[in-house]
Structure 1
Amino acid sequence: MGIDNFTDYTSKKLDTILQNIYVGVIETDKESKIINYNKKAESVLGIKSQKVLGKYAFELFPELNIRECLKRGKKIEKEQIQVNGKIISITKIPIKQYEEIVGCITLIRDDTKYNTLIGELKNEKDISEVLETVLEMTYDGIVFVDKYGHIKMISEVYAEFLGIDKDEAVGKHVKEVIENTRMHIVAKTGIRETVDFQKVKGRYIIANRIPIIKHGEIQGAVGQLLFRNLKSFDSFSKRVTRIEKKIKRYGENLHENNSAAYSFGNIIGNSEIMDKTKEFAKKAARTTSNVLLIGESGTGKELFAHAIHKDSDRAYGNFVKVNCAAIPAELLESELFGYEKGAFTGANREGKIGKFELADGGTIFLDEIGDMPLAMQVKLLRVIQEKEVERIGADYTKNIDIRIIAATNRCLEKMIKEGKFRKDLYYRLNVLTIKIPSLRERKDDIEILIDFLIGKIGEKLNKYIKGISPEAVECMKNYSWEGNIRQLENVIERAMNIVNYGEKILMEHLPREIIGTNNVIKKIYKLDDVINKAEKEAILNALAACKGNKSKVAKLLQISRTTLYEKMNKHNILG
């Protein structure tokens, strides 16, 4: 799922709460197009949602200057503008996904009545009288602090929400009463803070904090919770928490899809051939040339692609993965190049960014490149040569800066002879070729790989085992491993599901095809150990047969009694 879909996903999930909070919310995508607009925004700005959704904010509401937020990528708050004779406070918050700006949320509030209140205070009306009136009339939570941050007044609703006694709160410093408060800061700096998120008792509130200024001097500050009815607070907070968790999970998935997850340190193995392969791959990472990874299925080609990107100058750019064999031929072009809105029947009405554009400034990993259709190979060759892409349905091109890492388990030279792969594309990709060795070529790594996989799978299954027997290791070293590391991992996982908790993997826990009679190797013991064991067993058997009579034992074994005693002493045989 692309970034365009991310903003759409987030907007839909948040819609259930946006319509119920006492603050106007306008959500725009990275192009400043309005994709969410709640009822309070309709009330404040005087325009219904049907007339604004899908339109550009800079055309309908130029005063909001949303493009500034998208450009700067920083939260912009404490702004006041005039719209339709109203004084509006706005806060603009960029939506970021791993350093990329994907949209903006603008929070708006009609501050006309607050400015009237402040005007009255400036006209030297008694502060206490005005605030008492406010407290009596509001259903919201209100608190007033002096310039030192001490609470002078607090509404019954606010005190009830905090779970405190109203009268006991008065006179205390606001930090002692309200968690994560900034009221004392506003009272000190005189800088208003509007529609700000604050966490109280593990839950979210949205608050206004407005300084009270008289004769040019700060007298204190008024704080207000932005809810029509605080009884709805619990429901709101729980929904926000659920949305947070879902977005976090989605963000992790998005990050995983567009970021390199592995480095060279994650590539297990210290055999000579593997060390040479990693060393060459590290050198390739430091260049800007395209890389071609070849090797059998399951050897870890994708792992090397991740590591090369992460060790390169493009490490902070996107790492975009495309499996050319997994995407139907008729969809591959739209996946790679993207499309404009309305480009074809069934297309996303907002259009879609392609994988090439998504990888701009980073790396694109084209796995199973040998399965790419010939028609698409021509288009890929043009991207490499011209360094530009053109979306389906577009009448313009876009310059891109990407590095290509391709991988295949097929013989491209043979495919060229068969007319299934373009020779010119092969030469463009085959600048730095890295052959990933099969497991058969690096049998010295099998034991260390087994230990690593036991730890990894143990965490996954939440199961501890002591390890694996030497006989089982030897058996696995002598297997051919056509499926390479992927097959090895499957065998270890199967064994760990069978073996009892806290025990070792034995031969009996391995699949029949691994154990096969030709692959079973008995443990070899030193000849002296074998002779000593046989000698001891012979003496013990003779002692048992002769009921401990040493003379008869010596005669039966055809040795002297002196020699018998020496050998009994040697083997610690009592008697």
Structure 2
Amino acid sequence: MKYICYAAYNEDFIPLAEGIFKKMGKDVDIQIYDPRNPQKLIESGIKVALARGGTAMKIRKALDIPVVEIPIPFEDMIQALLKASKMGKNIGVIGYNNLLKGLDLLNPILNVNIKQEFANSESETRDMILKLKNDGIDVIVGGVAQTNIAREFNMNHVRIDFSEKALVYAYNEAESILQTIFSNIRKSEELNAILDHTKEGYVAIDKDGNITLINETALKLIPEYTEQYIGTPLANVFPELRSLLETLKTGEESLQQIAYLKGTTVLYDMIPLKLDSKEVIGAIATFNDINTITKAEHKIRDKILTKGLYASYTFDNIKGRSKAMKDSISNAKKFAAADSTVLIIGETGVGKELFAQSIHNASSRRLGPFIAVNCASLPESILESELFGYEEGAFTGAKKNGKAGLFELAHNGTIFLDEISEMPLALQGRFLRVLQERKVMRLGSDQFIPIDVRVVSATNRKIKDLVAENRFRSDLFYRLNVLTLVIPTLRERKEDIYELAKEFLLYYSKNKKIHVTEDGIKALQEYGWPGNVRQLQNFIEKLSIINTSDIIDAYAVNAMIAKYEPSCEEINGIKRSDAKPYIAKEEVEEALKLSKGNKSRAAYMLGVHRSTLWRLMKKYDI
């Protein structure tokens, strides 16, 4: 279909135009413009018209379509003036606004007297040409209409024909306009398709409060709808949304409001439309049936549960009546009520993830996903792609459609980063950027994805020491260490050992009644449990399988500990694992250097008692 038309004044120009367009390889509609039937252009599907002078002016007045006026290039004008100068010295140039102005400046160059006039209609043109004749003009220079009138008055005349250059220029302008029109049509169709197929209702108003847009979802609430509602005051159609008029006055958006709309309870937002972010020129209300929202939330929740991106444990699952554990639980509950970043500190096996899940399930994000990742369990390259995701072709082996990272999957929920101290330095910088900007960029992408994620991290190491050793970024540590939760070790809450052991025995013995004697309980409490609750749980599982008696005494406990568990030495009344039997001289010197000679701190860094440090210093003659 042809969308660009050259509207000619008469048949004289058609052969010339056909030749030029054929040479250009362009399929353009060419017809003589009929001022008595201007709609003919529209009916034939024309989107942009090409015309010159008076014809362009007539089309603009009659039709609401873009008109590109064919210009008169300077060289075409010069050729016409040179030809006219051979017919007489007094030259009258007359035309419409497409003529070049200031032609009289050429008088001394061409040795002529040029008088230039502009007309807005054929009758005005006729009057001007007659006046020019009476003023002694020898020759008239102009278009078809001007030269035809000059011929009637028996005056010499030179017609300005349009050149290939002029037509090519005008066509390129028309094609550019046509592409803009198609782009706008496409965008309009896309918007209409989105608005008419979305589950949300949309109603837009202008600055006077009249409806300018209403989509199918909104129309379903008004079965009697007719086209007359466009341009109708909002208050007449949706009086329940009249608060949208207040948005026009204040220019402030109002979100998550509830209204009873035509018998349906809806959740709606009211957003002002501003010109250059200043002047309010309208407003739009978007609303959704609350029942639809509830169903969608259940569907999302079911999908999250299917993928396993949820937290199983709550504070009710945390066992312990000791003051140390009660204090930790109390602090964790306070942290759950906030939305700040949490750093959980505790030895291996104390239950850091149990606390992380409990914090999530007691927080406002409990309906969102909970994603846990161990920073020490994956190589750096895999950890990076898992955390941040990747685009198709980002690296060899990347999935065809790319993959969302864990930060994206945790959107509106919580991400738990266990053993955060083991995150490679190279990734710490990217992670810090995510914490600061709340945006993530996939590997191989140049687009940022906004995320709303709460970060809970955990470590069994002393991050402060890692910072001092330049093995962990200080700025990241300060970002993570907003709310700090310290989980006590099992040796710091010995009174909880029996309660935990009883719980584990009940589970692993399949409800078989097993009695733990008082000396058996004491034996459990005297051991240091370097692996904490996890070690105790594994120990009870072994005990329930290997021990055949219904009674567990100190002998059974000590025999199992001696055979299967690591030995412990007692330091100031605290049982400590002898997991590091050999400490090299270089390690002792390094600890003393980092602690600046502070013996207590150096011993702490080495994981030994201060008396042990003295013995090591004496041994190595330090």
TM bracket (short chain):
0.3 to 0.5
Name which one, 1 or 2, has greater alpha-carbon Rg: 2
Q: TM-score, normalised by structure 1?
A: 0.46
Q: TM-score, normalised by structure 2?
A: 0.43
